[in-house]
Chains A and B, each alone.
Chain A
């Protein structure tokens, strides 16, 4: 703290002794009092002194105040006082009472106290934890204090917050606070927190800052909202500017779509408050951040596309064409539209189709160009229009063609009803206003940029100067004006146009040289010893002359490369010429213009260089210098070498092509072989599959056959009656027979019985008559014997009868039982009883089934046959494809041989070439010895490849 003592000691008018004492006493009370009330009163008193005696309170009380924050957290009031006091000490914001001249010193105070406070990083962490307190009296002063610390010493405080766990995330919660003051001050805190710190910006974005901020802006009424909207927009800008990751996240989160509503400013708006203008300005800048030409190309183009798809561009164009828009908003809108369309064909096409709501409708481009060449329009607006026009033409061949076409004789509207872009540009080019001249010249140059077709087309343009005189070509008119010696901007503009026009266009060079006044004019300008003012024009003249040499196709005998170079040597001197050429890139405004495409000049005098032109200078300065230094002999030799080189090149190219073709063929054949192999494999698997299917079918068939056999057997027995549940029909019939037998047996027995009965009857009657005839008890023993015999016989017969009838009954029940069973069976099988009819029905049924089965078998057989046929066919196919493969193989082998041959041939040629190369090399070195630098010629091709890859990459990213 020694340095602070120094500050304090240096103060002549220090506080009265008593104040310092009071502060000391208060600090002692804060430090030592055991009563909370007492401590709280002391801190309150310190707070009231802290504005007036900032230095003293700061030095003496800071550590006590920090201690209070650590220990008295339970009392929000004392915490609030302590935070407020610290805020007063650290912040420079509320300084009205202090005299002006001490402001500087107080600023130092703020940062020095901040340094002391953050020396203990825990102090910042402590503050962060206080911010988690919901109590308004703690949170709000806490937010303000932390904001102040961040404003004083951003980077170290940011670092402490970054490494404290979830530090940044906790601060994001402030945006969700329902108390507006805290939310709004939270926005300010986040502004300070995110300033120039990419890591924090990303975390804040990750914590859904975009969503929150866009919600707040919407809630507050977009551009009609108050300063909160402005603060949110500034925070959004902090998060997005130069932060590609966040820009990508913003785009991916579909937040671009939400920006569209910002620009829905109806015509019936209730005027433009200063706040609204500020808000809209920031909104437009935010759009530009996303499509800035300095962003990675892929990033910008995907945002541009999104802006068209969601209608944002269309909305911006509406503002562009609306009335009553404040000039600076209009200017910024033009700049924004410029960057939204720059290099993006879809957006450029849309822009070309926009019409102003005038009667009759005029293209927006025309309306804008009218402003550009209008002296009365604000300078920044005119620059913005030029930028817009440049962006419209950037990488837009179609647009370039359309603009140039409006100048061509065939397309000029004869009725003169509507002004065309071309007319406006010509008007601007030759008006008396030098800024118009410059803008129109640069605009026209952009219509030719990198477009050889349009450079040639523009040569056709003829101008009617005055009645009676023949028309003059546009090119001629430019040089005429140039030679008249007008304002510097006019001449610089025209020279830049001519340089652009003639570069890479030998026909234009010829046209230019055809006018015999031009070369003397240029050499005159370059040779003269003029003041600093004219140096730039001299440089540009040198460049134009250099271009006329470098892109000269020697079609004009008086102005061949050689002759022009001799002229330089004679009239100017090589060294002098090169020095003058160097004036361009050494100009103080040159590097400024080379940085950004936007023509952004602090005032009209600075309007000298065009960004695209600086690129052209960079490209040509070196090659022209080389070309000038080359002698004519060298030129000739070079020419010869070039020719031989070309010849060799041709041979090499020829073989290269041949090899390429053969390579292609080989590739094709390889592919064919591989597809055939593939097919073959497929077929083979198909064959195996089908074979196994066939096997399956065979198995099935066999199974069926076996089953069928069985079925036939069963069905045979069926015809005799129902057969189920193990009761065999044979058995039934056997039983029936038995029954029949038994019956007949019974009948026999009965008849026997009847016989015996009659015998018995006879005997009885004879006995009775015998008794009566021959006395009662005179039974002869023979008779008795006979009787007994008979009786025995009788009883035996009776028992036999009895058993037989039992037997019969049993059989009868058995029979009936069987019949019953048969009946139930018949019920389940549609067979009733055992009548013939039923049997017949059964038979037909079975027969039907049989035939069905037979049919099935037949079908199966057919199928098998078909399958086996198919198999044979497939096998045949397989064989043929195998043979094709073999043929192809041999063909391939042949080709291989051929390729090897041609390779050998090529090798031979290469050897030959190497020889030639050796020769060339020696020629080259000879050339080098002579002082000629020799160029390599293979590079351009490689570069093109690289570009392609780059484009692909872009496309990938866009998807």
Chain B
């Protein structure tokens, strides 16, 4: 299906904070209480609309364990956005944010948009990290911030979409070099597609488009 832009995202953060569940909730609109431990990296995709434009999000969900860290690092350079996730019911995951952020800043391109996410907001009774603390951390490090629940889907759409909006604005401001695919941004094929293909084929086929 035709899109105006394609953004690549990565999801990072300690293991067990709900990265895979967030992705599943975003791409499939469902929650899986028992989720396999992510081995290395898993891929997911979805189309969203911003400013009336179709934007394809390609998302790589990474494994949080230390043993996969070197693999995970390979994904920073080519990503336009990162969701850095911690678990509001586990303070240690919040304490590790600095390490994650350093890692991300070191290996990514400087324009990468980072969204800080405090996940599992549905578990209010077990909360260990106050919302204000997340906000403060984000403010201090120049990140966008949101609390989400992959279980109830609260703010999940918003987290992914707001990150895309930020990237989109950066493009409008000319901050991103959109012709360099290494930045994790690609312009849609629709310009090229109108000239190419459409050979001697039945018209209906291309229009169907539900192939995403």
Instruction: Give chain A's interface residues, CB within 8 Å of chain B.
Output: 162-169, 198-199, 202-203, 206-208, 211, 245-246, 248-249, 251-254, 256-257, 260-261, 264, 302, 305-306, 309-311, 314, 956-957, 959
* B44 contacts partner chain A, Cβ-Cβ < 8 Å: yes
Say whether, besides A264-B199, A306-B211, A248 and B44 are in contact (CB < 8 Å): yes
* B205:A956 contact, CB within 8 angstroms: no
A882 to B133, CA, bound (A): 47
* Contact residues in B for A956 (Cβ distance below 8 Å): 28-30
* B45:A305 contact, CB within 8 angstroms: no
Q: Nearest residue in A to B76 (C-beta to C-beta)?
A: A166
* Contact residues in B for A165 (Cβ distance below 8 Å): 70, 73, 107
* Contact residues in A for B28 (Cβ distance below 8 Å): 956-957
Q: Shortest beta-carbon distance, A128 to chain B, in Å? A: 13
Q: Shortest beta-carbon distance, A55 to chain B, in Å? A: 35
Q: Nearest residue in B to A208 (C-beta to C-beta)?
A: B181
* Contact residues in A for B45 (Cβ distance below 8 Å): 248-249, 252
Say whether, besides A254-B211, A306-B211, A168 and B74 are in contact (CB < 8 Å): yes
* B42:A254 contact, CB within 8 angstroms: no
Chain B 180-210 per-residue mask, 1 if CB under 8 angstroms from chain A, else 0: 0100000001000000010101100110111
* Contact residues in B for A957 (Cβ distance below 8 Å): 28
* Contact residues in B for A959 (Cβ distance below 8 Å): 210
What is the number of contacts between chain A and chain B, taking CB atoms within 8 Å?
Answer: 89
* B1 contacts partner chain A, Cβ-Cβ < 8 Å: yes
Q: Nearest residue in A to B106 (C-beta to C-beta)?
A: A165
* B40:A202 contact, CB within 8 angstroms: yes
* B75:A199 contact, CB within 8 angstroms: no
The tally of residues in B whose CB lies under 8 Å from a CB in A reads 35
* Contact residues in B for A257 (Cβ distance below 8 Å): 197, 211
Say whether, besides A169-B78, A956-B28, A203 and B71 are in contact (CB < 8 Å): yes
Q: Shortest beta-carbon distance, A130 to chain B, in Å? A: 20
A246 to B43, CA, bound (A): 7
| CB under 8 Å from chain A, chain B span 57-86 | 58, 60, 70-71, 73-75, 77-78
Say whether, besides A203-B75, A310-B211, A249 and B43 are in contact (CB < 8 Å): yes
Q: Which 4 residue pairs spanning A and B have beta carbons closest together?
A: A252-B45, A306-B211, A163-B70, A245-B43
* Contact residues in A for B77 (Cβ distance below 8 Å): 166, 169
Identify which of B42, B70, B107, B181 gathers the most chain A CB atoms within 10 Å of its CB. B70
* B212 contacts partner chain A, Cβ-Cβ < 8 Å: yes
* A309:B71 contact, CB within 8 angstroms: no
* Contact residues in B for A206 (Cβ distance below 8 Å): 8, 41, 60, 74-75, 78
Identify which of A165, A168, A203 gathers the most chain B CB atoms within 10 Å of its CB. A203
Identify which of A167, A211, A248, A957 gathers the most chain B CB atoms within 10 Å of its CB. A248
Q: Shortest beta-carbon distance, B202 to chain A, in Å? A: 8
* Contact residues in A for B40 (Cβ distance below 8 Å): 198-199, 202
A163 to B40, CA, bound (A): 13
* B181:A162 contact, CB within 8 angstroms: no
* A166:B74 contact, CB within 8 angstroms: yes
Say whether, besides A254-B1, A309-B210, A245 and B41 are in contact (CB < 8 Å): yes
* Contact residues in A for B8 (Cβ distance below 8 Å): 206
Q: Shortest beta-carbon distance, A596 to chain B, in Å? A: 25
Q: Nearest residue in B to A260 (C-beta to C-beta)?
A: B197
Residue contacts A-B, CB under 8 angstroms, 15 given: A165-B73, A166-B73, A166-B74, A167-B74, A199-B40, A203-B41, A203-B75, A206-B60, A208-B78, A208-B181, A249-B58, A264-B199, A305-B210, A310-B205, A314-B205
* B212:A252 contact, CB within 8 angstroms: yes
* Contact residues in B for A246 (Cβ distance below 8 Å): 43
* A309:B211 contact, CB within 8 angstroms: yes
* Contact residues in A for B211 (Cβ distance below 8 Å): 251, 254, 256-257, 302, 305-306, 309-310
* B208:A309 contact, CB within 8 angstroms: yes
Partner of B74 from the list A169, A254, A310 (CB cut-off 8 Å) is A169
Q: Nearest residue in B to A245 (C-beta to C-beta)?
A: B43
* Contact residues in B for A164 (Cβ distance below 8 Å): 70
Q: Nearest residue in A to B68 (C-beta to C-beta)?
A: A199
A311 to B56, CA, bound (A): 22
* Contact residues in B for A253 (Cβ distance below 8 Å): 58
Say whether, besides A256-B211, A957-B28, A311 and B71 are in contact (CB < 8 Å): no
A248 to B24, CA, bound (A): 14
Q: Shortest beta-carbon distance, A247 to chain B, in Å? A: 9
* Contact residues in B for A305 (Cβ distance below 8 Å): 210-211
A254 to B181, CA, bound (A): 16
Q: Nearest residue in A to B196 (C-beta to C-beta)?
A: A261
Identify which of A163, A167, A305, A311 gathers the most chain B CB atoms within 10 Å of its CB. A311
Q: Shortest beta-carbon distance, A261 to chain B, in Å? A: 8
Q: Nearest residue in A to B1 (C-beta to C-beta)?
A: A254
A254 to B192, CA, bound (A): 14
Identify which of A166, A264, A309, A314 gathers the most chain B CB atoms within 10 Å of its CB. A309
* Contact residues in A for B78 (Cβ distance below 8 Å): 169, 206-208
* A310:B206 contact, CB within 8 angstroms: yes
A169 to B77, CA, bound (A): 9
Q: Nearest residue in A to B6 (C-beta to C-beta)?
A: A253
A306 to B1, CA, bound (A): 10
A252-B45, A256-B211 are known; give 8 further A-B pairs, CB within 8 A: A162-B71, A206-B75, A245-B42, A249-B43, A251-B211, A252-B43, A261-B197, A311-B206
Say whether, besides A198-B40, A248-B43, A956-B28, A309 and B75 are in contact (CB < 8 Å): no
* Contact residues in A for B212 (Cβ distance below 8 Å): 252, 254
* Contact residues in B for A166 (Cβ distance below 8 Å): 73-74, 77, 107
* Contact residues in A for B41 (Cβ distance below 8 Å): 199, 202-203, 206, 245
A645 to B71, CA, bound (A): 60
* Contact residues in A for B58 (Cβ distance below 8 Å): 249, 252-253
* Contact residues in B for A249 (Cβ distance below 8 Å): 43, 45, 58
Q: Nearest residue in B to A311 (C-beta to C-beta)?
A: B205
Q: Shortest beta-carbon distance, A252 to chain B, in Å? A: 4
Say whether, besides A202-B43, A206-B74, A956-B29, A309 and B199 are in contact (CB < 8 Å): no
A202 to B40, CA, bound (A): 9
Q: Nearest residue in B to A198 (C-beta to C-beta)?
A: B40
Q: Shortest beta-carbon distance, A745 to chain B, in Å? A: 87
Q: Shortest beta-carbon distance, B210 to chain A, in Å? A: 7
* Contact residues in A for B209 (Cβ distance below 8 Å): 309
* B205:A309 contact, CB within 8 angstroms: yes
A269 to B196, CA, bound (A): 21
| CB under 8 Å from chain A, chain B span 3-39 | 8, 28-30
* Contact residues in A for B199 (Cβ distance below 8 Å): 264
A546 to B44, CA, bound (A): 49
A116 to B1, CA, bound (A): 51
A165 to B108, CA, bound (A): 12
A166 to B107, CA, bound (A): 9
* A162:B70 contact, CB within 8 angstroms: yes
| CB under 8 Å from chain A, chain B span 123-141 | none
A357 to B96, CA, bound (A): 67
Q: Shortest beta-carbon distance, A117 to chain B, in Å? A: 21
Q: Shortest beta-carbon distance, B64 to chain A, in Å? A: 15
A199 to B201, CA, bound (A): 39
A257 to B75, CA, bound (A): 26
Q: Nearest residue in B to A303 (C-beta to C-beta)?
A: B211
* Contact residues in A for B74 (Cβ distance below 8 Å): 162, 166-169, 203, 206
A959 to B28, CA, bound (A): 9
A208 to B6, CA, bound (A): 12
Q: Nearest residue in B to A173 (C-beta to C-beta)?
A: B182
Q: Shortest beta-carbon distance, A196 to chain B, in Å? A: 14
A201 to B181, CA, bound (A): 19
* Contact residues in B for A251 (Cβ distance below 8 Å): 211
Q: Shortest beta-carbon distance, A122 to chain B, in Å? A: 15
Q: Shortest beta-carbon distance, A590 to chain B, in Å? A: 33
Q: Nearest residue in A to B200 (C-beta to C-beta)?
A: A264
